[in-house]
Structure 1
């Protein structure tokens, strides 16, 4: 009866969102929220503080996964069938310090471990829980920024669109490493690495929907490096850099996250310090980018930025102001317009599912 009423009234069931926050600075851990499909508005329904500092989240197979960004780093799985996330067992050690990012591929969860400068692989079991570390790959090297690049600092790990490769963005070594995951053994095989301009401090990357280009957001210099991605060869080639803040903008600027529109026309980047969202127009072939606007992020220190699958709404997790702000995106100009916010102390990440 409910489905029939929904069809007759035109109402749509709410989506779901999951928000990570730093428990060590007053956050509630992992929060769940309903998402209004029309307005993008969030309504918090519950939370769990069972895992310390769950700073980054990922969804897969109806299960939510989180890192525990602590000295004794861990990863955790959550049941999301109810109003609040429920842990599926105890957090599993990643045998590394400071995991900041995780991704799912090949029946495994991979974590990027910032402090240790490594990537850990944990198998997913049939019920979605995590097994012990099956493989680990440590980076080597450093960069010219002495206080930030004294050692490797893996900041993001993700599979490429083809599913053949795993890419790791390392802030400490100014590089993106390409590996192949052996799904049978849960180990990573090094394939190659791309060195970016020294001192840029790459943090995260996002792929163009066509799969032939990637955009590396740099933290230590407020730019995005446009790259060609050859999935057949597993090779990332830098093409050029584009600023994500207007020329002459004052103050410190620390970009954090980058997302690309489903139609490949626009790219958005969150910039901490400036507390802005950069809007970049992409060339039709994806091979270049141009900064067209910079708008307030709706709070302070936007640590994460997420785009709804429809491309209609953007969500900024503003860590220092303690909120998640959502925006309606103009499909013609790419400009985000603030539509609302919800309090989330020490917000660090938001994923939609």
Structure 2
């Protein structure tokens, strides 16, 4: 057996990085010290001008210089300019955020020793409202995702090396029920330099029936079959990366036949074949991040909806790598790297129309915004970095 259901485990917390103690005071005040409020005078609560879109920012609340909850703001859909509007308080260490498929509910991890996931309602014409939290059964949850059907929430406990499932109750505004499953990664054994399993991501495959969990500690990606009626996971296979790779984040090509994996420890990306029928993932050969020698701690890959380009955030190198996607998704060709304009880009995200790319820069406490050329995928910085306390996740709506 490669995974087992178990209670919470304890291990070494994944490095958070230096807190953004030098983040601009104005940004810290706007995102960390007041309740969510209208972006402009005279504007109705919860309503934004047509050119303005909502933005939510994840942070750490338990470190010096961090925020006091989930940062809220708006951004201009044309210029990318961000305006702070306040904070959703009462959420501890909301380091990763995810939106429900219907767009009416936000979920956040509480990345603490006794991990939890929190539900936030996003009512039309009203302020975000915290509905409650549920324990994940593990320590240090660092990632979550909602099943495309909207009935299940998955979370990854980094410190415990386990993944959890919670039911979503649409009749209660998307609030979460008691956990229906908890699966621990027990084999293969930890990779070089690791003290145990460290689940870093959990995501549903495009086929909808399989759920994949990326574990940095065991150098493996686990595939589970989801029982959509019971909310339980049954392991069907796992893909082994080379020892010491440290896989962190997986992103699927729109075809559903390939996936791209960022390896944090050995500074590589890997193109993986994926079989929707079996759920089996087959890693290819590691390739360059375009950042030279040494470890740049690659964090995350994005792929455009048309499958033409992929982008990688490099934390140590403070850059974004651009790839052309070729061979119907089966090959990544490195094009260039550009400075991210901040320090330690932990998370990147597209705006819904993919005209903008947002980078949350943890150590500088900033969010930088880029325009994305639809034809070439070229990135161009827009405006000045936006100050946000220990910004580790950006979710533009």
Both proteins in one fold, TM over 0.5: yes
How far does the alpha carbon of each residue in 1:101-150 deviate from its partner, in whole angstroms, 9 at most, with x for none? 0011151111001000000111111221111211111101333322xx22
Deviation at 1:252, TM superposition (A): 3.8
Q: Counterpart of 2:328 in 1: which secondary structure?
A: coil
Please give the residue correspondences for 1:170-319 in structure 2 after superposition, counting only pairs within 5 Å: 170-248=215-293, 252-319=295-362
Deviation at 1:54, TM superposition (A): 0.4
**Equivalent residue, structure 2, for 1:348:** 392
How far does the alpha carbon of each residue in 1:275-311 deviate from its partner, in whole angstroms, 9 at most, with x for none? 1111111114111112211111111011101112322
In 1: Cα distance, 2:152 partner to 2:81 partner: 32
* Candidates 167, 179, 193, aligned match of 2:212: 167
Quick check: 1:143–1:199 contact (8 Å CA) kept in 2?
no
In 2: Cα distance, 1:48 partner to 1:220 partner: 34
**Equivalent residue, structure 2, for 1:4:** none
**Equivalent residue, structure 1, for 2:67:** 27
Q: Structure 1 residues 134-143 or 194-203, which shifts more?
A: 134-143
**Equivalent residue, structure 1, for 2:160:** 116
* Candidates 63, 72, 78, aligned match of 2:114: 72
**Equivalent residue, structure 2, for 1:6:** none
Cα pair distance change 1:86/1:246, threshold 3 Å: same
How far does the alpha carbon of each residue in 1:328-353 deviate from its partner, in whole angstroms, 9 at most, with x for none? 11223322111033211111111222
**Equivalent residue, structure 2, for 1:137:** 183
**Equivalent residue, structure 2, for 1:5:** none
Deviation at 1:13, TM superposition (A): 4.1
Structure 1, unpaired ranges of 5+ = 1-10
How far does the alpha carbon of each residue in 1:42-97 deviate from its partner, in whole angstroms, 9 at most, with x for none? 222221231110000000031000000000000000122367532113x2111100
Q: Counterpart of 2:77 in 1: which secondary structure?
A: coil
TM-score (norm 2): 0.82
Q: Structure 1 residues 63-72 or 335-344, which shifts more?
A: 335-344
Runs (4 or more) in structure 1 with deviation over 4 Å come to: none
Deviation at 1:228, TM superposition (A): 1.0
Q: Counterpart of 2:177 in 1: which secondary structure?
A: coil
In 2: Cα distance, 1:27 partner to 1:336 partner: 29
Q: Counterpart of 2:62 in 1: which secondary structure?
A: helix
How far does the alpha carbon of each residue in 1:243-291 deviate from its partner, in whole angstroms, 9 at most, with x for none? 113334xx54101111001121111111111111111111141111122
TM-score (norm 1): 0.92
**Equivalent residue, structure 2, for 1:36:** 76
* Candidates 128, 138, 141, aligned match of 1:96: 138
In 2: Cα distance, 1:230 partner to 1:130 partner: 31
In 2: Cα distance, 1:221 partner to 1:350 partner: 25
Q: Counterpart of 2:224 in 1: which secondary structure?
A: strand
In 2: Cα distance, 1:83 partner to 1:189 partner: 40
The higher relative CO (CA closer than 8 Å, separation ≥ 6) is in: 2
In 1: Cα distance, 2:309 partner to 2:349 partner: 14
In 2: Cα distance, 1:245 partner to 1:13 partner: 35
In 2: Cα distance, 1:194 partner to 1:252 partner: 23
**Equivalent residue, structure 2, for 1:8:** none
Q: Counterpart of 1:246 in 2: which secondary structure?
A: coil
In 1: Cα distance, 2:291 partner to 2:313 partner: 13
Corresponding pairs, count: 338
* Candidates 87, 91, 114, aligned match of 1:47: 87
Cα pair distance change 1:320/1:85, threshold 3 Å: farther
In 2: Cα distance, 1:13 partner to 1:305 partner: 21
Deviation at 1:171, TM superposition (A): 0.4
In 2: Cα distance, 1:239 partner to 1:111 partner: 27
